[in-house]
Amino acid sequence: MHIVLVGLNHRSAPVELRERLAFRREQLPDALARLRRDVGLREAAILSTCNRVEIYAGVPVLDGAITRLQEFLSRHSGVVLPQLVERLYSYTEPQSIHHLFSVTSGLDSMVLGEGEILHQVKHAYEWARDSGATGKALNALFQRALNAAKAVRTQTAIGRGGTSIGTVAVELAEKIFGHLSGAVVLLIGAGKVGELTLKRLAARGVRQARIMNRSPERAASLACGYGAIPVALGELGVQLLDVDIVISSTSAEGCVLDRQAVAGAMRGRQQRPLCLVDLGVPRNVDPAAGALENVYLFNVDDLQGLVAHAHEERRQAVHDSTAIIDQKVERFLAWHRREFELEPCVL
């Protein structure tokens, strides 16, 4: 059984393209079924986050598998194949294995050493497994990748300090507003990224944080833990008149904030500056809103410039982490060759 990977990430494609390829949670069972039925994969898993979309596949033979996966992504996204292929990367083992281990450990993230990706990979694996799309090869691959990531995080300094996209968003807000203790912040989305962002806001002294989510119970529960105020989704227009910063991290299919809503709010605010940080993929905020006067809109790709300093601090941790990953990959490859009677390959 060969292990194949086809995907793109924040380095190979801009957010405008990544959002077209993204898979929502409710789309995964059908997508995984089609990968096995129509593409001919024996096993499959889809990892779709704000920074990457990757398909991991188990196939008995490599012949044409990568091309079929590229065509599948082209149909899913509506992006013509020649335009899409130039942005995709495609690996077979051992590169496909090494890539997943590195991704899960936070070494391939926009924010080096981020912790969210470990949970995202775990969920991607669980959803594929629960859909009956994984088998002997991918079960072992993902379990060992998760094990390697835990070893990296416990044995190196890769995860120390601020290592989440939410942390970077808060640092960006501080650069614009200075100390955030007097700022009013609205957080849209109460998922893992939203929770980590709220935690960082609390640590930075924000005393007026508000949170909204499509599940009011989830918003109330999260707000209670951090001294924030839950607000209903229907109050978004009212909230825009009052807050200084909006940080959005939902998985909504369409825009949560369109240009018209922001323009109306700016008139009511008498053009008082508004900072919008859009961490969603697909994007939560209409890009056209960024052209409005006194509106400062940033998406996930805009945050990359703030990441360099954190990367420099973790350079030694990367060296240590890579050594752990290389060892774990070699062990998996040895198992993989024995189980599937494949010829040895060299990293």
Residues belonging to the active site: 50
- Token pair 């996209």 is found at 165
Q: At 295, phi and psi to the nearest 5? A: -105, 125
Query: Is the separation of the CB atoms in 232 and 212 below 8 Å?
Result: yes
The DSSP H or E segment spanning 304 is none
Cα separation, 210 vs 223, whole angstroms: 7
- How many Cα neighbours within 13 Å face the side chain of 34? 14
Q: Cα 18–19–25 angle (5° rounding)?
A: 110
Query: Is the separation of the CB atoms in 245 and 277 below 8 Å?
Result: yes
Q: What is the DSSP string of 128-188?
A: HHHTT---HHHHHHHHHHHHHHHHHHHHSSTT-S--SHHHHHHHHHHHHHSSGGG-EEEEE
Cα separation, 23 vs 296, whole angstroms: 28
Query: Is the separation of the CB atoms in 7 and 77 below 8 Å?
Result: no
Q: Residue 78: left (phi > 0), alpha (psi -120 to 50), or beta?
A: left
Token reading at 26: 């409710």
